[in-house]
Amino acid sequence: MKFLFIDLASRDGMIAAVTEDTVVASEKVSNRISDGEIIPIVESVLGTASWNLKDITHIACVIGPGGFTSLRVAVTFVNVLADQLGIPSAGIHLSELYTSRSSPLPLGEGLGEGAIYWMHSTKKDQLFVCGGKWEEPTLITLHDIPCGLWMGELLEEHEKALGAERAPLTPLCDILPNIVNLAEYSNEILRPWYGRGW
């Protein structure tokens, strides 16, 4: 199988050509990418991998949370490409991406300060959290911020308020083949995840 992986949600976004065993080619991208920039980057990654569009068998896309426009660009591109190629796609939540990279404890394991939480700042006084009592990504206020190791993307103010250490993470390219292999693919339309019912 040959997977196209697209992450425009993360600060450290990536477009990659991936097989079951390895990342064949990848390019880091800004989460502020415009719709006119994504096609040349995908073509460049595929060219480096010596693939063409018809070689792709599956597409995995990070669907959120992230910037409104970057999520729209990524999800729309994946929906159109999957439809035109007649191949399945999978949406991956950013918390799943980080959880797959967490080491040594899985998300939410440990007690008190030993727990690991995924967190993502969304506004000056709000963030998403997953882990511990939050089994699903949940919008909380800064006053509800948990204690423990964290991973994700926080505003500097949120990081200072937390006062905790970052959890060690495995490099994305080391585990990306496993992530795309385990994703749930279908021919359903992907939808951006904004976490607020938009």
Predicted pLDDT at 113:
47
The answer to whether residues 107 and 156 belong to one domain is yes
Task: Residue 81: give its domain's CATH number.
Answer: 3.30.420.40
Q: State residue 110's pLDDT score.
A: 47
Structural domain boundaries, residue 60: 3-93+171-182
Residues 135 and 107 in one domain: yes
Distances (CA, A) of 103 to 94, 98, 149, 168, 170: 16, 10, 11, 6, 7
Global pTM reads 0.91
The single-letter DSSP state of residue 56 is -
Please give the pLDDT value at position 111: 41
61 confidence band (pLDDT: 50, 70, 90): very high
Q: What is residue 103's predicted lDDT score, i.e. its pLDDT?
A: 62
Spatial contact of 42 and 97, defined as CB atoms under 8 Å apart = no
Q: Does 75 share its domain with 114?
A: no
Report yes or no on 59 lying in a domain: yes
Q: Are residues 86 and 134 in the same domain?
A: no
Whether 81 and 176 share a structural domain: yes
In a domain, 197, yes or no: no
85/108 same-domain check: no
- Give the mean model confidence (pLDDT) for residues 46-54: 97
- Max CA distance (Å), the chain: 50
pLDDT at 197: 57
Residue 62, phi then psi, degrees to nearest 5:
-75, 120
Write down the residue that tokens 């064949």 correspond to: 24
47 and 15 share a domain? yes
Same domain (yes/no): 44, 109: no
pLDDT winner (highest mean) among 35-44, 85-94, 130-139, 158-167: 85-94
Q: Are residues 24 and 110 in the same domain?
A: no
Identify whether 175 is part of a domain.
Answer: yes
The pLDDT of residue 32? 78
Sheet holding 134-141, edge to edge: 134-141, 126-131, 116-123, 149-153
Q: Which amino acid is at 50?
A: S
Distance CA 143, CA 162 (A): 10
**Whole-number mean pLDDT of the chain?**
89
Q: How many domains does the chain have?
A: 2
pLDDT, one tens digit per residue, over 93-151 is 999 999 898 865 554 544 444 578 999 999 888 999 998 889 899 999 988 888 778 99
The answer as to whether 187 is a domain residue is no
**Residue pair 134/145 in contact by the 8 Å Cβ criterion:** no
What is the pLDDT, as a whole number, of residue 104? 53
Whether residues 40 and 132 share a domain: the answer is no
Residue 39 falls inside a structural domain:
yes
132 plus 109 within the same structural domain: yes
3-state SS class at 24: strand
Q: Is residue 7 domain-shared with residue 73, that is, in the same domain?
A: yes
- The answer to whether residue 198 is domain-embedded is no
Q: Name the burial class of residue 153, with classes exposed (0-12), middle (13-18) and buried (19+) by CB atoms within 10 angstroms of its CB.
A: buried
In a domain, 192, yes or no: no
